[in-house]
Structure 1
Amino acid sequence: MTPRTTDEALHRLLRDGQTRAAAIDPAHARLWEAVAAATEGGKRFRPALVTAAHDALGGTSPEAAATVGAAVELLHTAFVIHDDVIDGDDVRRGRLNVSGTFTSRTLAAGAGPDEAAGLGRAAGILAGDLALAAAIRAVATCGAATDVTHRVLDLFDAALHTTAAGELADVRFALHLDPASLSASLAMEEQKTSAYSFALPLQVGAVLAGADEPTVARLGEAGLMLGVAFQLVDDLIGVFGDPAQTGKSVTSDLRSRKQTPLLVHATSTPEWEEIRTYVGRDLTEVELGEAQRLLTTCGSRDFVDELAGTHLARASSLLDEIGISADVIPVVAACLPARAAEGVAA
């Protein structure tokens, strides 16, 4: 059956993967089941941006847009799974992620903690690889014209390279070999999140609709602005959020010493000498509260919040100039401002 929505397309891709996995052996089938489980619980705004851009620009390829939208969601799933392995996190969205699930099962089977954790990491790496391969295959077989498919694949390839560069920069910055400037920290966030979460969906939706290259380029610029705004809000949630609502740890960024714009800004304030004592280690609830208080009183929290607003306004202006803001901005509003309101305690 031809998929008409991104959810239908994603379900078909997951079902096809499950069929191939089950034909190999039960253990591999369980790995693919973990991939499928990792796609659950998200807001699906990335595929929604694909179809919103396609429809707003008068596209006539809804089936291809649905399939490519599902591919973007699988790409996101791959990055999330790998990101958790890199960060050493076993929980995502309030439940065990792929690595955590396999670690837990292996512990229950009698393995030691180190061996179980090693298998969990391996499962995470392999599951992410499977999701990535499925995403690219979905684009290649989306049914669009050959030249259009090649252009979409080029955009996916560029997003992959950019995101990998941003992820590596994030890990390198956390080593604190050199202090990160605010511009370098923002560039890292643009690479790590903006390229594939916002610029890619908007651009491939436009390409599938037959838009000209200047429009595709401007949508890419708007997507980068949106992505930085989104990531800045996510950074706030990563320290000030309510895990019960967000499913996201509020100590991971501090523990791993991530040089996010929030912490980079804090290094320029008089409070930094005290704040730094709460960075790079596990925190008690009381210590976390004190770190949150200091990051608020030093002005870093407000600085990041205002910076997110500036980027969002710039993106809205670009979309207005293209003439599609009325169609696309509601999709963005459903993910970014809502996350800020629901996930970050006042």
Structure 2
Amino acid sequence: MRLVQDRIDARLDLETGHLARISPAAGALVNETRQLMTGGKRLRSQFCYWGWRAAERDVPDDRSRRQLDAVLQLAAAIEMFHAAALVHDDVIDHSFTRRGHPATHVAFARRHEAAGWRGDAAAFGEAAAIVLGDLLLDWSHQMFADGLAAVPGDAERAASRSLVSAMTSEVMVGQYLDILGEHAWPVLPDDTALERAETVMLYKSAKYSIEQPTLLGAAVAGADEPLLATLSAFGVHAGLAFQLRDDILGVFGDPDRTGKPAGDDLREGKRTVLIALTRSRVSTTVAHVLDDMLGDPDLTDDQIHILQQTIIDSGALQATEGLIDDHTRRALAALADPRIAPGARHELADLADRAARRAR
């Protein structure tokens, strides 16, 4: 969305001047942000916009323009928040690439190496990335504040503020539960593995990727509780389908399309629904081998292939594809609600389908 990108660029232009007044060396923070925020699917901002259109009603032109201004600012803030989450996530997961480029902490480490600075380049890279992620969170919240201030109507503004607060806290909790799952799984009951993976999927990704942006746009338009409940059902199921697809791509995706190495989630030891389903369908011996290999950053291509084949042979890949189909059907069924504006219904359905079927 060009209008959203324009607002992101305007914020970065503003911050460029601010950081330059502090020190010329700080310009690297904005330069890295521009690299990170160029391209991408802009999925969240699209759902925010069409959530607004889904709930849009006949209002004076001036009010509609003010709503649109608020929605675009909030959509840009969501993208900035997403960028902060990606920077921190790549540090946590020790990911080397993002969208075909070096991950932020890797880029800073290479800057350290090229300049011949003292100390450990990798440690510098991770520290710099954490700082940049924090800075992006601050910028996103400034943008959220500007967007909320632009929302016309006290009730609409209060509803929007509540959604922003929930979104920004729940994704952090989801991130923690993801980290916990990767480290604590040996002492946790096997029969809760799928439930734990589903909770992480919901709060770390599904809600803030689709449900909450959609609801935020609708809240700006003054959507009532029944319509918000409908859009919530749509967003949760579309978000779960989106994340399940992401889990599959993290294991089977084409690096030329995903911008990340094949089997990256296996090297990172992600305890996803796909893995939980696999472990529940194989013998105890195979499960032990799977557990021993998962999370090894030095897995060879042959070992990745073995794990991929194990997932396929267990039926977990097919089962996950079935879950994606089911969640997509349930998301599209929610859009049958006649209160949703017809044009927005079509666009939301198309977005949900593309999110579930994407190859990157």
Calculate the TM-score normalised by the size of structure 2: 0.88
Q: Indicate the RMSD between aligned Cα atoms, in angstroms.
A: 2.0
Indicate the residue corresponding to 1:134 in structure 2. 139
Please list the CA deviations of residues 54-80 of structure 1 after superposition, one character each: whole Å capped at 9, or x if unmatched. Answer: 123226222211111111111111111
Indicate the residue corresponding to 1:157 in structure 2. 165
- The structural deviation recorded for 1:10 is 1.8
Runs of 4+ with deviation above 4 angstroms: none
Instruction: Flag the structure with higher helix content.
Output: 2
Select the residue among 281, 295, 300 that pairs with 1:284.
300
Task: Return the alpha-carbon distance in structure 2 between the equivalents of residues 46 and 120 of structure 1.
Answer: 28
1:214 equivalent in alignment to 2:226: yes
Calculate the TM-score normalised by the size of structure 1: 0.91
Give the secondary-structure state (helix, strand or coil) at the position aligned to 1:5: helix
Give the secondary-structure state (helix, strand or coil) at the position aligned to 1:334: helix
- The structural deviation recorded for 1:251 is 3.1
Please list the CA deviations of residues 148-200 of structure 1 after superposition, one character each: whole Å capped at 9, or x if unmatched. Answer: 33432221110111111111111111012324521221111000001211111
Indicate the residue corresponding to 2:332 in structure 1. 316
- The structural deviation recorded for 1:97 is 2.0
CA contact (8 A) 1:94 1:247 kept: yes
**Unmatched 5+ stretches in structure 1:** none
The within-5 A match list for 1:264-275 is 264-268=276-280, 269-270=282-283, 271-275=286-290
1:24 equivalent in alignment to 2:40: no
Task: Return the alpha-carbon distance in structure 2 between the equivalents of residues 267 and 33 of structure 1.
Answer: 43
The within-5 A match list for 1:235-314 is 235-268=247-280, 269-270=282-283, 271-281=286-296, 282-314=298-330
- The structural deviation recorded for 1:4 is 8.4
CA contact (8 A) 2:266 2:304 kept: no
Letter in 1 for 2:346: A
- The structural deviation recorded for 1:47 is 0.6
CA contact (8 A) 2:94 2:268 kept: no
- The structural deviation recorded for 1:111 is 4.2
Task: Return the alpha-carbon distance in structure 1 between the equivalents of residues 304 and 17 of structure 2.
Answer: 46
- The structural deviation recorded for 1:36 is 2.2
The within-5 A match list for 1:132-211 is 132-142=137-147, 143-145=150-152, 147=154, 148-175=156-183, 176=185, 177-178=187-188, 179=190, 180-211=192-223
- The structural deviation recorded for 1:248 is 2.2
1:88 equivalent in alignment to 2:87: no
> What percentage of aligned pairs have identical amino acids?
30
Letter in 2 for 1:167: Q
Letter in 1 for 2:171: T
Task: Return the alpha-carbon distance in structure 1 between the equivalents of residues 135 and 230 of structure 2.
Answer: 32
Letter in 1 for 2:124: L
Select the residue among 334, 341, 344 that pairs with 2:354.
334
Letter in 2 for 1:201: P
More divergent stretch after superposition (173-182 vs 238-247): 173-182
Letter in 1 for 2:319: F
For these two proteins, the number of residue pairs brought into alignment is 337
CA contact (8 A) 2:181 2:196 kept: no
Task: Return the alpha-carbon distance in structure 2 between the equivalents of residues 46 and 108 of structure 1.
Answer: 36
Letter in 1 for 2:140: A
Please list the CA deviations of residues 235-275 of structure 1 after superposition, one character each: whole Å capped at 9, or x if unmatched. Answer: 00001111111112333321232210111111112343443
Letter in 1 for 2:236: L
- The structural deviation recorded for 1:206 is 0.2
**Unmatched 5+ stretches in structure 2:** 58-63
CA contact (8 A) 2:328 2:352 kept: no
Task: Return the alpha-carbon distance in structure 2 between the equivalents of residues 154 and 227 of structure 1.
Answer: 20
Task: Return the alpha-carbon distance in structure 2 between the equivalents of residues 258 and 334 of structure 1.
Answer: 24
Select the residue among 73, 83, 86 that pairs with 1:67.
73
- The structural deviation recorded for 1:119 is 1.4
More divergent stretch after superposition (7-16 vs 222-231): 7-16
Letter in 2 for 1:206: A
Please list the CA deviations of residues 126-145 of structure 1 after superposition, one character each: whole Å capped at 9, or x if unmatched. Answer: 11112111122112112223
